[in-house]
Amino acid sequence: MKRGREEADTEIVWQTPANPPERGDYIFRKGRRHVRPYYFEFISHVKKRWAGKTIVDLFAEEFKGRPYDYYVSAIKSGRIQVDGQSVSVSYIVQSSQKISHFVHRHEPPAMALDVSILHKEPDVLTVCKPASVPVHPCGQYRKNTVVGILQAEHGLSPLFPVHRLDRMVSGLLILARTAAKADVFRQQIEAGMVHKEYIAMVIGLFPEEEQVVNVNVNYNAREGRSSVEEGDRDGGTALKGKVACTKFTRISTNGTHSIVLCEPITGRTHQIRVHLQYTGHPIANDALYLSEIVADRSTQGKTAGGAAAVNSDHSPISNFSCNADSDEYEENSCEDLSIDPLCTNCPNLAPKGYDEQEEGLWLHCVKYSGPGWIYECPYPDWASLS
């Protein structure tokens, strides 16, 4: 659904999730894929703990990403409505009422890398997901997602992600093209019938013999990170973390860094990352799980391209990069972008607080296999220690 209204002599077209991403929505600038800012309707319903508050206090207390004065202006201009009607700033909200917030939305940029199609079947699509792009709409991201880009640039829709990869992780992503096929994959994963393989570049000389880490993982949503949790399971003290197991095998090393095959038996948040930290060999550019001392070591022996400038003791692997060179993209002019007078992000293209320098994590999904099927993704360039 689209709805139009006149504001400041400019026609504003409001979007909802029903409006699909289009190729022209993307702007490429300085190695980043941006989304052209657009007007969007956010809908929520009044929770019990919100009831009895004024509409302006509700937004100021619950949605602290914008200043109080913005919410006053948004309510007065009709950009914040209750049950489809404009209200005053002193309006008292009631439980279950529908609240609409019409915003000038600025999505965070991602690295300007292609979403490469690896394998296309009538009911399955596999792609190589670039780092920094989320799989599906979430949080601040809607169009700058794998699902959004595939729809905009290849006309592929609907798509049902079979598994998830963290935003900063690259590699194989399996998407079902029908809900029925997605359900088949889901049942196989839940039954433990699917084998997963990743590779990572870690700090130090990883042991030659296979390492199995079988310690609980406890995810702290407030901090956005996981920790391992050990204890005597028979000692009567309940462990808060979830059971987690990962098998690690060294592929190659130069003594300073190692390429490690990671086979997660379970699937916990940040499991591979925190289990590698537990072994004393964290991912070499994983700032979230590196100490300051280790972080300094992670930059040693690196070329500007991110690959270790040393010889490899591993047999040659593919140098194929699943990420297209950003030079393939034409730098778009942003001169035609309209500036919204109420927007707290304008005139910038990216939203405030975004780290323009973020790079992909050296963790890459290479293979998923199950009953009668196997899908693979080539190794990234950084996986060759040469």
> Quick check: 334 pLDDT over 60?
no
Of residues 102, 114, 109, the one with CA closest to residue 349: 109
Domain enclosing residue 47, as ranges:
3-105
Cα atoms in the Cβ-side hemisphere of radius 13 Å centred on 289:
26
How far apart CA 150 and CA 20 sit, in angstroms, is 11
Average pLDDT over residues 111-116: 94
Cα 309 to the chain's mean position, in Å?
A: 29
Write down the mean pLDDT value for the chain: 86
Residue 272 inside a domain? The answer is: yes
Q: Is residue 347 part of a domain?
A: no
Within 13 Å, how many C-alpha atoms sit on residue 374's CB side? Answer: 5
- Residues 237 and 121 occupy one common structural domain: yes
pLDDT band for position 314 (cuts 50, 70, 90):
very low
Secondary structure class of 278 (helix, strand, coil): helix
Kindly report the pTM of this predicted structure: 0.83
What the block records as the tokens of 110 is 């991602």
Task: Give the CATH number for residue 91.
Answer: 3.10.290.10
CA distances from 237 to 213, 229, 230, 240 (A): 21, 12, 11, 9
In this prediction, residue 330 carries a pLDDT of 57
Rounded to whole angstroms, the Cα distance separating 32 from 23 reads: 15
Res 189: pLDDT: 95
CATH number at residue 119: 3.30.2350.10
pLDDT at 5 over 50: no
pLDDT digits (tens, 9 = 90+) for 274-306: 999 999 999 999 999 996 444 443 333 332 233
Q: What are the residues facing 80 on neighbouring strands?
A: 101
Tell me what the mean pLDDT of segment 94-102 comes to.
96
Higher pLDDT, 368 or 11: 368
> Is residue 296 flagged as an active site residue?
no
pLDDT band at 161 (very low <50, low <70, confident <90, very high): very high
Q: Active site residue: 25, 69, 166, 381, which one? A: 166
- Domain endpoint, select from 105, 139, 158: 105
Average pLDDT of the residues in 21-39: 94
Examine the fold and report which residue of 105, 133, 149 is the final residue of a domain before the chain moves on. 105
Let me know whether 175 and 226 are in one domain.
yes
pLDDT of 236 reads 59
Residue 196 makes CB contacts below 8 A (sequence gap 6+) with 163, 263, 264, 267, 365, 367, 368
Q: Are residues 66 and 211 in the same domain?
A: no
Count up the domains in the chain and report the number: 2
Higher pLDDT, 337 or 267: 267
By the 10 Å C-beta count (0-12 exposed, 13-18 middle, 19+ buried), 240 is classed as: exposed
